[in-house]
Amino acid sequence: MQRWTTPEATPDALRPCVATFGNFDGVHRGHRAILDRLLAEGRERGLPTVTVTFDPHPVEVLHPERAPELIAPGALRDELLGELGVDGVLVVPFTWEYAQTTAEDFVVSTFVEGLGATCLVVGADTKGYGRGYTGDVDLLRTLGEQHGFEVVVIDDVGDGERWSSSAVRRLLAEGDVAAAGEILGRPHRVVGEVVHGEHRGRELGYPTANMSQDSLGILPADGVYAGWLVRRGLPEGHPDRRLPAAVSVGTNPTFDGVRRVLESYVLDRTDLDLYGEQVGVELVERIRPTLRFSSVDELLDAMSTDVERTRAVLGVTAP
């Protein structure tokens, strides 16, 4: 997937195209409905597909006090879009100056002049783009008639509740990664480098891979989770690429920790040296909340139980 940052820099091979735009935080199933139609339109028309998005999130610039914590920031969002098969992503640097662009100028300069879009696929709730938050689906249809592009509108989707990034954030804050995964259509993912921690896990017989503080992806509520550790530097199909793990998120209150960390114990593996590796941690289900234990022996008993419950959730057996 190609990535660029200004409409005029659109690669020749990607114009004309079928396009869409939005923040796409989390690239959840609601987004997928739009992106799946984007890909289908591209195939039917024999044209490449392009997603237009923004960095930073517009709310971070316009109303920083209300800016959401991002489910899949920047590079992680782009990665998820690429995994779906989108051909290109135009990531527009969102600044206060850019926010003064009128809705009409945004559409014409981006999709007509920049991308040469013949079709624009959007959600039915598309609104509030452009200066004064005036842009909506009706404006897109009007501009489409004037400039010769079709507008395809996708209705909201969801099981009882509309699938949205806000719903995913709420569920992650509650620790319900399973329900969040239902909306995402995949396990919630945190990506970053493995760094040195306190090394207590190794001393206790459960060596853990600690994620760096600048990892990408929201940390869910404190607790122990069943999940998968993905070694991103290894090729697909490698036996050690995707490994079952018991994952702890929290401050380690038994040892009076104060900083929230995500650390993963790969089941039954004490031979791994992951320091400096880029890994992804996929969180499947919460096992229990974080607890303060009165002794190390009590902690070890709980960890043993956590491992067995993780096996059950992930469907893996002991060696």
Closest CA to 10 of 49, 67, 41, 40: 49
Q: What is the C-alpha to C-alpha distance for residues 278 and 306, in angstroms, rounded to an integer?
A: 25
- Give just the sign of the alpha carbon dihedral 97, 103, 104, 107: positive
Closest CA to 15 of 118, 115, 149, 121: 115
Active-site positions read: 263
- Residue type (1 letter), 256: D
Question: How wide is the angle at C-alpha 289 spanned by C-alphas 201 and 284, nearest 5°?
Answer: 80
- Find the distance separating the first CA and the last CA of the chain, reported in whole Å: 39
Question: Structure tokens of 34?
Answer: 């739009």
Q: What is the C-alpha to C-alpha distance for residues 255 and 295, in angstroms, rounded to an integer?
A: 10
For 158: left if phi > 0, alpha if psi spans -120 to 50, otherwise beta; the answer is left
Strands (E), 56-116: 88-93
Q: Are 200 and 293 in contact (CB under 8 A)?
A: no
Q: What is the C-alpha to C-alpha distance for residues 190 and 216, in angstroms, rounded to an integer?
A: 6
Per-residue DSSP letters for 234-285?
SPTT-TTTEEEEEEEEE--GGGT--S-EEEEEETT------TT-EEEEEEEE
Q: Are 78 and 54 in contact (CB under 8 A)?
A: no
